[in-house]
Structure formats: structure tokens, C-alpha cells
Amino acid sequence: MALFGFEKDTLLDLTVNVIPLGILAFFIVAFAVVPAFGTDPVFSGLQFALMISMFFLLAVLTYYAGKAVEGAEQAEEEADA
């Protein structure tokens, strides 16, 4: 079964980036529910902009890293055949 077009071995390789994505998602939700630093729109906006942009960039990086790993595995299989 392929999830997001990746094989099981590739998904195991990508768990290195999935764990920080989960941590970022947790803090985004936690700070949205309980504003620990007050509700100043400037500081809250900056805080969420930084967290969400890091989440998005890490997700994109993880996707392209998975594509690169899949491509390298296919090239290796073709070279062995």
C-alpha cells in the first residue's frame, strides 16, 4: 500500500521529519487554544506566522525528500536489473 505515493520503506525514512511536524502541529493547536503570551495581535500573529511557515516548509521539504528517495531507489533497482 502506498501512502502519498511512497512505499513503506520510504515512509519509514521520512519519520525523521514527521515527528517534528507533529510537535509543531501540537504547539500550533496548543497556542491557539491557550494563548500563553497574551492576545496581542502583533505578537500572536508573528508567533503563528513563524510556526505555520516552519510547518509548511518542513512538510514541503519532507515531500521532496521522499520523492528523491523514491527516485534513488528506482534508479538503483534499474541499475541492478
pLDDT in tens, 43-78: 989 999 999 999 999 999 999 998 898 888 888 888
Q: Where does residue 11 rank: exposed (0-12), middle (13-18), buried (19+ CB within 10 A)?
A: middle
Question: Residue 29: inside a domain, yes or no?
Answer: yes
* pLDDT mean over 20-44: 91
Question: Residue 41: inside a domain, yes or no?
Answer: yes
Domain extent at residue 52 = 8-72
Provide the grid cell at 54: 516552519
In degrees rounded to 5, what are phi and psi of residue 28?
Answer: -60, -45
Question: Residue 1: inside a domain, yes or no?
Answer: no
Strand partners for 6: 3
Q: Return the closest-CA partner of residue 51 out of 21, 33, 28.
A: 28
Tell whether pTM > 0.85: no
Quote the number of domains for the chain.
1
Residue 37 pLDDT level (bands cut at 50, 70, 90): confident
Asked if the model's pLDDT at residue 80 lies above 90, the reply is: no
